Structure formats: C-alpha cells, structure tokens
Amino acid sequence: MIACHCPVCCSDDPRNHRLRASILVRDEGIDLLVDTGPDLRQQMLHAGVQSLTAVLYTHFHADHINGVDDLRAFNFAQEVVIPCYADERTAAELESRFRYCFLPPDPAWAKPSLSMHRIVSPQTFGGVRVTPIPVLHGDLPILGYRFNDVAYLTDLKTIPDASLELLRGLKVLVLDCLRYEYHPTHLHVEEARYWARRIGAERTILTHMTHDVDYATLAAELPEGVIPASDGMVLDL
Ligand SMILES: [Zn+2]
Ligand SMILES: [Zn+2]
Ligand SMILES: [Zn+2]
C-alpha cells in the first residue's frame, strides 16, 4: 500500500506484493480477461498476454475498471473492437465514465475501441461456457463468473441461494477474502472459509487480500484445499 511501512508492505516475500484483483481465462485461441483495474498494463506485460477475445466486468468500482485505457494496446495489435460484457449497472457506468471507448473506432486505433454487451445468461467463447453469477457486494448486486468448472467471485458479502445452485461441481473457486477483520462489503477470512466449505470446490483460492494479510501466515492457517492467491499465479486445468 502507498506510504505504508507495515510488515506485509515491507516484506521480502513477493507473495505479499499484490496488484489489483483480476484473472485471465485461457483456452485454445480464447483469452477472456476479468476486469480492467488500474494495474492492467503491468499485469498484461508480466503475463505476456498477446490478445484478448473479450473482457468480462464484475462491477464498476475503480479498482476493477480504471485501467480500461490500456485495452487500446490490444485494439492496436488485433485491429478489432474488443467486446466487453457486464450487467446493466456496470455497463451504464462504463459507458458514461469512459464514453470515448464506446464511440466508433478511429482508423489509427488511437483510443480504446470497445463494444458493450449486457450479460444476462451464459455465453460460449470457443470451449469456454461463461455463466454470470449474481452476488451481493454489500448492498450492490454485482457479477461473478463461472468458466466451465472454475468460478471467480471477487468483491462480495453474500451469495444468494439461486447463485449457489450455479456453483455446484466446481474444480476451482477463486473467492473474495479481504482481511481478518469484518468488512461491510467484502468477505473476511472467517466468512471466506465458511463459503469455501459451503460451495465445496475441489480447490478454493482466496483473492483481493489487503496488506493486513501475510501470505505465509494465512496459508498456514487454512484448511486443506484452500490457499491464498498470489500475483502471477497460473493454474493449469
Ligand atoms: Zn502495509
Ligand atoms: Zn468493489
Ligand atoms: Zn475490489
């Protein structure tokens, strides 16, 4: 964290140095990015991402959208308009805050050129079936996503029963876990453990941690099958 000298921020363990929450889901010829946080450029460079098939948005908070301008690099490389998917509220927020991104592309791809699609039902990209999973981020309804046997649920406080039905039989669940202390709009460690147990994925990976969480300390406390995420983590499925 900026201007912080706590043991986690000063730690030598690279797993304690975290960029904003995001994942890239890859399958033959398909690259689906979830969210475009302010660290997008660094994340794309680090992961060597060459192209994007689509961007899926969970919600419109700054830490999940404010890197949108760097999508322009993919317009430039791919010479196509990049489709984005979001729920109605997030789509409207993006279209108003980043209006220029949704205007027709200019010939030199000098700005991000995106199209916005409201996602209300499962969509298929190559071999990846993407199911939107409604969750509550405090009082705010937002989306998680299921990709075949993997689900990504960040920034949440509650999972409605109807959404739990959509989370059966998961191999991997990536789940919000902000810190040890209670938070009104995010899961804290105890709640994340509860939902991990209740959903029962083969593996649960905790994400969106703050500097209150030391990687090794949390990892040592978690039950079998539950681990903290770290930046650059790759799962081969
Ligand atoms: Zn700190
Ligand atoms: Zn949020
Ligand atoms: Zn967030």
What digits encode the pLDDT tens for the residues 117-137?
Answer: 999 999 999 999 999 999 999
Which is more confident, 79 or 107?
Answer: 79
* Dist. CA 213 → ligand 1 center (Å): 9
Which residues, in sequence order, are bridge partners of residue 56?
34, 85
* Dist. CA 221 → ligand 1 center (Å): 20
* Dist. CA 67 → ligand 3 center (Å): 13
Amino acid at residue number 18: R
The ipTM value here is: 0.97
Please compute the mean of the pLDDT values over residues 41-45 and round it to a whole number.
98
The reported pLDDT for the residue numbered 30 is: 98
* Dist. CA 171 → ligand 2 center (Å): 25
The reported pLDDT for the residue numbered 140 is: 98
Domains 21-120 and 129-229 share a fold: yes
Percentage of the chain with pLDDT > 90? 99
* Dist. CA 185 → ligand 3 center (Å): 10
What is the residue whose two structure tokens read 């660094």?
42
pLDDT digits (tens, 9 = 90+) for 168-189: 999 999 999 999 999 999 999 9
* Dist. CA 155 → ligand 3 center (Å): 5
Would you say residue 106 has pLDDT above 90?
no
154, 207 in Cβ contact below 8 A? yes
What does DSSP say about strands 172-176 and 128-137: parallel, antiparallel, or unpaired? unpaired
Please compute the mean of the pLDDT values over residues 40-66 and round it to a whole number.
98
Residue 177 CA to residue 159 CA, distance in Å, equals 14
* Dist. CA 223 → ligand 2 center (Å): 26
CATH topology of domain 129-229: Metallo-beta-lactamase; Chain A (3.60.15)
Backbone dihedral angles phi then psi of residue 164, each to the nearest 5 degrees? -60, -35
CATH of domain 21-120: 3.60.15.10
* Dist. CA 137 → ligand 2 center (Å): 7
* Dist. CA 79 → ligand 2 center (Å): 31
182, 151 in Cβ contact below 8 A? no
Q: What residue ranges do the domains of the chain occupy?
A: 21-120, 129-229
Provide the pLDDT confidence category of residue 107 given band limits of 50, 70 and 90. Answer: confident
Q: Which residues of 103-142 are buried (b: 16+ CB within 10 A; e: fewer)?
A: eebeeebebbbbebeebeeebebeebebbbbbbbbeebeb
